[in-house]
Structure 1
Amino acid sequence: MLKYFEITKDTEGAKKFFTAKLAYTITPGELRKVLDELPDDIQVVDVRKFEDFSKGHLPTAINIPYDQLEVYLGELPKDKVIIVYGYNIVCHLGAKSALFLAENNIPVMELCGGFEEWQNKDFEVISTPN
């Protein structure tokens, strides 16, 4: 029988996981504050498809779809923290992108809940004409 998840009592593993999760994720409210106070320290990257980016995205975000990250890797600033986001909390594009960037020595964090959670907080959304 297939297991969809495994219950574990590994508290040491849990401590490591949640410590890392807190260190490398940012909430919409935290990001809003960073955009207001330290905008030059970060670069927001939307890893969704261009069509979805053009309908709405975070202020200052650039669009590099997940499947294009390798192509544009050299253009990302290494002196800023890259904040990536995908569609929503169940979308793994943000996490996959963050892992890829970290593997390539780019400082990175993931926006918790992605674009959907940003919208749910009624924070500013920008649309890009085609």
Structure 2
Amino acid sequence: MSGASEKTLQRAGIIDYQAIYLHPGHHVGYFPGSQPIHIKLIFSKTDGKILGVQAFGQAGVARRVDVISMAMQLNGTVYDLEESELCYAPQFGAAKDPINMAGMIAGNNLREDLPLADWNQLQTNEQQIIDVRSPAEFSSGHIPGAVNIPLEEMRQRIEELSPDKEVWLICGVGQRAYYAFRLLFQSGYKAKILSGGMQTYLAKYKN
């Protein structure tokens, strides 16, 4: 961990922030032994300034936290993380490092290209939660109250959604939810993505 946590910001009366979650591998997936890094990045909604980072995993964690910590010391923003040039070798990282991915998710959120739902409002029942994973994945565990509409069926079943209620999308880690978001957005629905997918849900509510 480096920088502020959400609790620290709230105690200081700072509420204009956003948190994102991601779970990338510590190096490329085709190279044996890739381990997930679970990252939470906190940044200002106003200008993207990095406020804090938390991460855990079995490999590659300290390196990523150190880089983001240095960016914070230099008053860096999530846009700086997007464009960071980092050391690359298949056994140590990826062409798009987890640091770049965190910056891209946060930057796209601030540019409103990737609207993210607030995990802290999950229990309000003011939204319809749609799980776009496969039926087998859904049956292995899901958010209470979620409805399973697999991504490949979304176009055919889109009329099952209420146009008067915001749609919150979830999948395993976020990629399929993003594809579903693009489809719903183009069809006139108001939709958001639960950042980090079921991996975030399990970490926040089940562990």
State the TM-score, normalizing by the size of structure 2: 0.46
CA distance, structure 1, for counterparts of residue 191 and residue 205 of structure 2: 24
**Equivalent position SS for 2:143:** coil
SS of the residue 2:144 aligns to: coil
Q: How many residues align?
A: 104
Deviation above 3 Å: which 4+ runs of structure 1? 14-17
The counterpart of 2:157, out of the listed 43, 52, 72, is: 72
The percentage of aligned residue pairs carrying the same residue is 23
1:117 aligns with 2:200: yes
One-letter amino acid matched to 1:97: A
Residue segments in structure 2 that go unaligned for 5+ positions in a row: 1-94, 97-105
TM-score (normalised: structure 1): 0.71
| Structure with greater strand share of residues | 2
Shift of 1:16: 7.2
1:31 aligns with 2:116: no
Pair 1:68–1:19, CA change in 2 (3 A): same
1:120–1:68 Cα change, 3 Å = same
Structure 1, residues 28-65: CA drift from partner, whole Å, max 9, x if none?
3x233xx2x3x1x3100000000000110001100000
Counterpart-to-counterpart distance in 2, 1:57 and 1:104: 26
Name the CA shift for 1:15/1:71 in 2 (closer, same or farther; >3 Å): closer
Q: 1:51 to 1:17 in 2, by over 3 A?
A: closer
Q: In structure 1, the residue corresponding to 2:162 is in which secondary structure? A: coil
Which runs of 5 or more structure 1 residues have no equivalent in the other structure? 6-13, 125-130
Counterpart pick for 2:112 among 3, 20, 39: 20
